[in-house]
Amino acid sequence: MPIQRRHLLGLTAAAALPALGGCANPLPLAVAAPADSDAQAGRWLRESAEHHGYSAYKAINDINAAYAGRWRALIDRIQPEVVDKRWRAASEERLLPQAGVIAQAHRGPGGRKQVFRRSGTSAQELGEIQVWYEAQADELPGRRAALATEGRADDSPKVRTAAALVADCYQLFLLGPLWLADRAERGAWPLTLGGRVEVEGRECQWVQAWARPGFGLVSLDRVALAIDVADRTARRMQFTLEGFEGTRGAVAETDTYEHEMRHGVLWPMRSHERVVRPLGGYGVHDWQITGLDVNRGYDVEALRGAQFSGAAAAPAQARR
């Protein structure tokens, strides 16, 4: 059998491992959350958040970011709904962090995809999600083509749950310890201290959290940040993906690079994502921030619907 075909079949088989058990989960959901957060874990997270500009972040009304990225080979065959490769090549994203809202305008060879996501507030209240596709009818199969032609949201369960998972993860990718500290501060997410790990030659400390709600329309996930021992930069994040039926049991991790201080906040300008379980660290996605600005002054209504409106509409300020 040719090597390339063996590799493809191996990855496809690996995708079924979460349902079968497979290798040990780095963030097992079966481990009960502590009754109270570990004080040392809280200190590490607080110091990392302060290093990343927590005070400035809490004063921000809106964040406007543009991304360009590249999906690695094969992952779109394993998780086509999550990757949605024909619509997710570049994106304009708008966040209202204090309102728990993110909206995404994706663009790819298939056309435009618009997502509005308001995060949940508890394991019982999972928030809301809406998704729109815009393309020529011949670009979209079946039901999705009709929805695009009529300008209506796609409310199919797979589309909605996959989009909610992706939107929540992108808040984590961009904000890291700021996002996690904000939720831990509200007392909803207990923290515990993990071990040490080396990230790109730098010693880091794991801080783990039980996320309620989880990423997407699910009540529980686990997430961990690897915080640089020397300077408190969050350099790696690891997380479960229970919010979509095709990724349950999986664990992914994202490394962040080229951090830049802008508007009082330390932003990760380049990122790389791998699937730790079940694919053993297989790299799936690379992306970078191509535009960034803050505080245009719009509210949630500018982000609802099939396109941004008002002050949210202009592209993010290009990165120099």
pTM of the model: 0.88
Residue 205: partners with Cβ closer than 8 Å, 6 or more residues away: 44, 193, 194, 196, 226, 227, 229
Q: What is the CA radius of gyration of the chain?
A: 19
Please, which pLDDT band fits residue 75 given cuts at 50, 70 and 90? confident
**Cα separations in angstroms, 129 against 118, 147, 303:** 7, 16, 12
Q: Compute φ and ψ for 263, nearest 5 degrees.
A: 55, 30
Pick the CATH number of 34-309 from 3.40.50.1820, 3.40.190.100, 2.50.20.10, 3.30.470.10: 2.50.20.10
- CA quadruple 230, 231, 233, 234: dihedral positive or negative? positive
Calculate what percentage of the chain has a pLDDT beyond 90. Answer: 73
Please, which pLDDT band fits residue 4 given cuts at 50, 70 and 90? very low
Lowest mean pLDDT among 18-32, 45-59, 108-122: 18-32
- Domain residue spans of the chain: 34-309
Query: In angstroms, rounded to a whole number, what is the distance separating the alpha carbons of residues 305 and 116?
Result: 7
Is the pLDDT reported for residue 141 higher than 70?
no
Sort 69 into a burial class: Cβ within 10 Å, 0-12 / 13-18 / 19+: middle
Under 8 Å between Cβ of 80 and 101: no
DSSP state, 33?
Answer: P
Under 8 Å between Cβ of 207 and 232: no
DSSP one-letter string for 255-311: EEES-EEETTEEE--EEEEEEEETTSSEEEEEEEEEEEEE-----GGGTSSSS--GG
H or E segment at 44? helix 39-51
pLDDT in tens, 8-33: 333 333 433 333 233 467 999 999 99
